[in-house]
Amino acid sequence: MRKILIVDDEPNIVMSLEYIFKKENFEVFIARDGAEAIEIAEDELPDIVVLDIMMPNVDGYQVLNHFKSHSSLENVKVIFLSAKNKLSDIELGMQLGADKYMTKPFSTKKLVKEVKQLLA
């Protein structure tokens, strides 16, 4: 079973994504901030992470930097899912090593499709 880590501080997004990915037969892990995301990722080694950028304490950019600098996590696929929708935000996310960048509001169908393509 594939493992997905959903990292967002917005409860409604977390609940809907958890439901959708469980229906798609993923083992789902939830983190509500970046520090928790790093801890869970190190313990569970997810196949893919759906990662918000703007969160308390440790933001999504810092989480991605941590992943890229640790050999056990450097190959984890990362999709940024963020309200930051300027071209400069998207370019920064991709330069830091995200595999995909999607903006909020978003289509859950498109997100599921992107996740499956990245894991194919």
Q: What pLDDT, in 10s, does the model give residues 11-59? A: 999 999 999 999 999 999 999 999 999 999 999 999 999 999 999 889 9
Domains in the chain: boundaries: 3-114
**pTM for this prediction:** 0.97
Rounded to an integer, what distance in angstroms lies between the CA atom of residue 88 and that of residue 15?
29
Arithmetic mean of pLDDT over the chain:
97
Q: Which CATH class is domain 3-114?
A: alpha beta
